A and B are shown apart, each in its own frame.
Chain A
């Protein structure tokens, strides 16, 4: 464990192994019923419900250099791909929408013993006859800095109204839908850890989303606020009306 001013470095013990559990629940909804008519979606399930990994695989999620609270860094691809194969055998980090692909992590909190990292990954799965693109893989990692172990790991597709996009090449159409659980996790919940230094989850999410979408640099406001501000400032309203989310890969 090292500390340089307000920067910390993070390491993991090479000799340990960790059990990771994987979950994919049946798709609950698609706009055009692809999940009922297409076997690849109707039968979508986790490739490996459990898998043991060497701790070193999580080194991919850690920064190469010392970092400060709120700093973001790119996650290394190899470890992530191996873990995504536990969900589905054919994951891809290179996506159709090249301008929003990527893997980023952010130091959210730490104290003398523990560090909390949040991360966001964009990836998709190649299906027979098409592809499946979750909105994002969001997650967090809690590390014991003294013992150099993983306390808690979770990577999941958030349960937004619509949280995946899918392309069925056979019929040349796309669909959008909701799956209640796509998740990898390990370790135990760590809600009782008190971090001496931290930023909010929202601030960390904000730092991460800016790594993916330039459009998030725009100060979007809800419609009722937009009307109020427009009236106060005598300005026009610039509105985007969209079928799905603007700031994830499900649209």
Chain B
């Protein structure tokens, strides 16, 4: 889904409103899910990847620009790096939650 759809970027509210007027579409998202996504966002990040449980717990989060930097630093491919992120989420290692302590993104 787009950050624009969630109104994450305030300046996009106007084109969203105009698009809805053109298409007659409305947007409906379960509130707990939206909350989980907002919990997983990184400020200033244009793209975030998240793994969320059916109970709306964020199991892993990754701002994509950091991901590219980490892959380069670690010398691993993007495919391998992303698979590691997904597997770490499934293994309840909560990847991305230690970013503020400078722990590596890939554990």
Contacts and interface: CB of A to CB of B under 8 A. Distances in A.
A226 B56 CA distance: 11
B38 to A, nearest CB: 9
B53 A245 contact: no
Contacts of B18: 161
B15 interface: yes
Interface in A223-244: 223-224, 226-227, 230-231, 234-244
B99 interface: no
A17 interface: no
A241 B11 contact: no
A247 B15 CA distance: 19
Given A31-B9, A223-B1, A242-B3, A161 B15 contact: yes
B105 interface: no
B2 A159 contact: no
Interface residues of A, number: 28
Contacts of A238: 49-51, 86
A178 interface: yes
Contacts of B30: 223-224, 227
A243 B15 contact: no
Contacts of B11: 31-32
A53 interface: no
Given A236-B89, A241-B41, A159 B22 contact: yes
A38 to B, nearest CB: 17
A243 B22 contact: no
A234 B22 CA distance: 37
A160 to B, nearest CB: 8
B90 A236 contact: yes
Q: Which 6 A-B pairs have the closest CB atoms?
A: A230-B54, A161-B19, A243-B46, A237-B52, A239-B50, A241-B48
Given A238-B50, A239-B1, 19 more contacts: A29-B15, A31-B9, A161-B4, A161-B15, A223-B29, A230-B54, A236-B54, A237-B52, A237-B54, A239-B40, A239-B49, A240-B50, A241-B6, A241-B8, A242-B2, A242-B47, A243-B46, A243-B47, A244-B4
Interface of A: 29, 31-32, 159-162, 178, 222-224, 226-227, 230-231, 234-245, 251
